[in-house]
Structure formats: structure tokens, C-alpha cells
A = this chain, B = another copy of it.
Amino acid sequence: MASQMSEKEILSEENLKLSKALRDLSDIEGKLEKIDDQVNQYRISITAPVFEERYNVISNIPNFWKTVLETHSEFSDFIPVSDFKYLELIKNIKVNTISNSDFSITFEFDQLQKANFPKQKITKIFKLSKDINDLKYTSKLTDEQLMDMQEFGFLTSEPVDIVWPSDYDSINPKKISSKTDPNFKQNYRAGMKTFFSWLNWTGLKHGKEFPNGDGLANLFMEDIYPHCLKHYIESKRDFEDEVGGSESEIDEDEEELEGFHVDVISKEEESEEPLKKKMKL
């Protein structure tokens, strides 16, 4: 039959075949995306009980999150150096998946009396929105960015009530006023960049709130939280390398656990700043 077709007919036939193939590819891409979601759901369901167990264990390890956060290669890009002294107040963290796109992060803070910082537990919820009409300031966004936000969505969040440490009174946006503070603008901006401001981040005020707040939320969601043990172990290894490892203080006979050494842990570990103290040895 093909031999009776003209060259033109054959070409058009081949074109149709190609079009069909490309349409099929598109269907397959859709199926693979659904599979990604399905695999993700599966991962969440079997990981949840282990994360719950991990949460309970971590609450018995002083400075666990401080250690993870202060040695994380990217976390420090998001917050000012002045925040680092408050990392030890983060006693525990929990991430909950709400849907494929939405999640919440819960922080449990210890009190710090000298900074009038009370024990606090706050939960910040992050939701994907595609409604760019909700945006309050768009002047910092290009048309292309806005189109991408409309197509792929963008993270948003409600501000969360948190008492700031009193050392931050001079930059705390709730405590400063343009009427009384001659450096209001500068201080307001400094305050805007702290971790505490991130807890008030909305995702709707580009250029007027904590910068790259969605980036920090995603960093917790995709890396810091699921891989916190790896980061913790790494920081212990780095530390071992720095103090000279087994030569200085490690008992060779001590038990080596699957995956990492516990032998670097000694009494100093319980003090507030074990890493710094030990580094002086």
C-alpha cells in the first residue's frame, strides 16, 4: 500500500506519526509527574514514624539543632551573624507535610532569661498560592517572575507571633518607631533580616520583608530537616578532623557505631558551647 503513496503523502504520514509520538511523550511526562507525587506520598508515609522517633531522641541531645544549623553550608547565607547566638535556643524542630505543596515547620524555643526570651513553641505554615493578586508589592518583580509565579505558584505564609530577645529591642520592628528613632530605616532593615523576622514572613511583600523567605522554608523542608542526622554527623567529623582526631582524646577501644563515632562526645558536650571550648584544647 505504501508503494502507492506519493512522496508527499508519505511525508505527511510520517509527520502525523511524529506528532502522535510527541503527544504520547507529553502523556508520559504527565504520568511520570504523577509517579513522583505518588513516590513522595509513599516516602512521607513510611518516614513519618521514624521522624517521630528521631524527634524524641533529639530532645535528649543538647545543642543538636544548634550544631546542625551553625555548620550547615547554606543556612548561614539566610540569617545575620548576630542571630547565631540564639541558635542554641532552638530545642527541637518538626516539619509536617500538609499536601504535595504545603507544609508546616514547628520550632520549640528554650527560654533565655537574660534576654527576656520566654519558652515558646511556634508553628509556621507554608502554602503554595498561584494568585498573584494577593501580592502587596510587585515593584521588585519582573513580568517574567510574575508569570512564573502565576504558572508554578509561590510560597506564602501567615505571620507568627513570637517574642524577640530583648537584645534586639533596637531593631525589633514592633518596638521601634520612625518618630523616636533617628536611625529608624536602618534599624528596621536590620531587624527585617533576622531569623525572627522570617517567622513573620508572608511571601506577599517582596523587598519589604525577610528576603528569600521561601528559600529558607524550602531549605528546612528539603534539606535541613530530612538530612539533619547527616549534617550533625558531618559536623562531628569536621570537628574531629580539626582537633586532630584519635590522637588527642579518642579512646580507640570505644565503640564505633554504624555510620559515625560517638567517642567525640564527652562531658564538655553538655556545656553550652562544646565546640568552641574543645577547639581551644
Whether the Cβ atoms of A61 and B22 lie closer than 8 Å is yes
- A47–B33 Cα distance when bound, in Å, is 10
CB distance from A237 to the nearest CB of B (A): 13
Whether the Cβ atoms of B61 and A30 lie closer than 8 Å is no
> Quick one: CB contact mask for A18-57 with B, threshold 8 Å, 1 for yes?
1111111111111110010011001100110010011001
- Given known contacts A18-B265, A270-B14, is B38 in contact with A258 (CB within 8 Å)? no
- A26–B58 Cα distance when bound, in Å, is 11
- A232–B21 Cα distance when bound, in Å, is 13
Residue of B nearest to A232 (CB): B25
Residue of B nearest to A17 (CB): B60
> Quick one: CB contact mask for A59-86 with B, threshold 8 Å, 1 for yes?
0111000000000000000000000000
- A265–B266 Cα distance when bound, in Å, is 66
- Given known contacts A26-B257, A26-B259, A43-B35, is B267 in contact with A21 (CB within 8 Å)? no
Contact residues of A between 212 and 245, Cβ < 8 Å to B = 229-230, 232-233
Chain A contact residues: over half helix, strand or loop, or mixed? helix
Q: Does A269 contact B (CB under 8 A)?
A: yes
Q: Does A11 contact B (CB under 8 A)?
A: yes
A262 contact set on B, CB distance < 8 A: 19, 22-23, 26
Q: Does A137 contact B (CB under 8 A)?
A: no
**Residue from B21, B38, B54, B229 within 8 A of A57 (CB atoms):** B21
A60 contact set on B, CB distance < 8 A: 17-18, 20-21
Q: Does A101 contact B (CB under 8 A)?
A: no
Residue of B nearest to A56 (CB): B24
A269 contact set on B, CB distance < 8 A: 18
Whether the Cβ atoms of B29 and A259 lie closer than 8 Å is yes
- A259–B27 Cα distance when bound, in Å, is 9
Whether the Cβ atoms of B267 and A11 lie closer than 8 Å is yes
- A50–B33 Cα distance when bound, in Å, is 11
